[in-house]
Amino acid sequence: MARSPWYEKGNAWLTFCQVVMYPSAFLLGRKRVVGSDKLSRSGGYLLVANHISHLDPLYDSVVVRQAGRVPRFLAKASLWKAPVLGRALANTEQIPVKRSGAGAGQASLEKATAALRNGKLVLIYPEGTVTRDPDHWPMKPRPGVGALALSGDFPVIPMAHWGTHQVYSSYVEGRRFHPLPRKDIHIVIGDPIDLTELRSRPVDTRAIRDATLLIMNALRDMVAEIRHEPAPTAYFDLKKSERLASRQAEKAAASAAAVTGGVGTGAAGTGAAGTGAAGTTETVTPAVGGAQQSGDEAIS
């Protein structure tokens, strides 16, 4: 690779990662990258991307490294416990995110902010996890991306992808891995998002919410362009979906308990009573259709 002014020199661990990741990315899919030149710049900047598969970090790492930079991902801290992976993450300056404990999220944001101020490239998935939207659209973002974007005067560059979920489908029943036939992995890098107006305001809850939505809307629109279809006006809300599913499960359990009790009582009495109790059984399907929020309500 030609040494450009923005090229970041790596170490032995980074070389090890490249040896593993480059051929893996080649074998698992055909990269179709648009706008990679927008990554070839010096100084710190924040790269924001939609998340549709656990393979996204693989392709994002390869694309960023081929542009001469080293990505610093915000990733769940439990990955650092894996024997080899943990050492690779630690020695390539990745940023662990603890999901529990007082001030856990704030600590990772402070590390990310320090990396940006030191001229590093930080990559974050605003959703915080792989999307659970049934159609793989970006879901409700977490406010951390807005807080990070407003923490300094550095570029915030959107990167949209589509296709990795067709190779590895996360959070589905049955077979998840579908490497053959090889599929196209589309990655599009956009222009920096204009945060001038938001950065002129005091950094409060409202400013963070507005920045988060501005970033997520830009990503959603880019995904729509790749997919050649209109984007939904509402974001899938994972937490709301989980609450609804939990309530429906509780209702189903209560209903089953009532039916069991009724059948037992009927058996002790008359056969007719038992038949009547059994007739009250109903099937409950977790409802997730209501777990959509409009863009204006997406951040709470």
| Banded pLDDT at 249 (limits 50, 70, 90) | confident
Same domain (yes/no): 272, 225 = no
pLDDT(14) > 80: yes
Mean pLDDT (the chain, rounded) = 87
Domain identity same for 171 and 25: yes
- Strands 183-189, 156-162: pairing is antiparallel
The predicted pLDDT at position 248 comes to 84
Scanning the chain, the segments in alpha helix (DSSP H) are 12-28, 56-66, 83-91, 104-117, 144-149, 164-167, 196-199, 205-227, 238-268, 271-278
Tell me: do 60 and 177 sit in the same domain.
Answer: yes
pLDDT of residue 3: 64
pLDDT at 241: 83
**End position of a domain, from candidates 199, 231, 263:** 231
Task: Tell me which of 231, 250, 276 is where a domain ends.
Answer: 231
β-pair type (45-49, 95-97): unpaired
pLDDT at 226 over 70: yes
**How many separate domains does the chain show?**
2
The last residue of one of the domains, among 205, 231, 257, is 231
Q: What is the pLDDT of residues 181-201, one digit of tens each?
A: 999 999 999 999 999 999 999
- The answer to whether 286 and 240 are in contact (CB under 8 A) is no
CATH of the domain at 160: 3.40.1130.10
**Domain residue limits at 275:** 238-294
Q: Where are the beta strands (DSSP E) in 138-195?
A: 156-162, 183-189
Question: How crowded is residue 273: how many other Cβ atoms within 10 Å of its Cβ?
Answer: 15
DSSP class per residue in 230-280: PPPSEEE-HHHHHHHHHHHHHHHHHHHHHHHHHHHHHHHS-HHHHHHHHTT
Q: Can you name the residues that pair with 106 across neighbouring β-strands?
A: none
Query: How sure is the predictor about 261, in pLDDT bands with cuts at 50, 70 and 90?
Result: confident
Residue 240 pLDDT grade (very low, low, confident, very high; cuts 50, 70, 90)? confident
Whether residue 174 is contained in a domain is answered as: yes
| pLDDT value at residue 291 | 47
Is 71 or 259 the better-scoring residue by pLDDT?
Answer: 71
pLDDT for 58: 97
Within a domain: 89: yes
- Measured N-to-C along each axis, helices 271-278 and 238-268 cross at an angle, to the nearest 10 degrees, of 170
pLDDT score for 244? 82
Q: Which residues does residue 47 pair with via DSSP β-bridges, in sequence order?
A: 123, 157
Answer yes or no: is 285 within a domain. Answer: yes
Report residue 90 as tokens: 């630690």
- Residue 173: band (very low, low, confident or very high) from pLDDT cuts 50, 70, 90: confident
Any domain includes 5: no
Q: Evaluate if residue 170 carries a pLDDT over 50.
A: yes
111, 252: one domain: no
Supply the pLDDT for residue 272: 47
pLDDT at 280 over 60: no
Domain match, 124 and 159 both = yes
Residue range 158-169: mean pLDDT, rounded: 96
Residue 64 belongs to some domain of the structure: yes
Verify that 288 and 166 share a domain, yes or no: no
- 65 vs 55: CA distance, rounded Å: 16
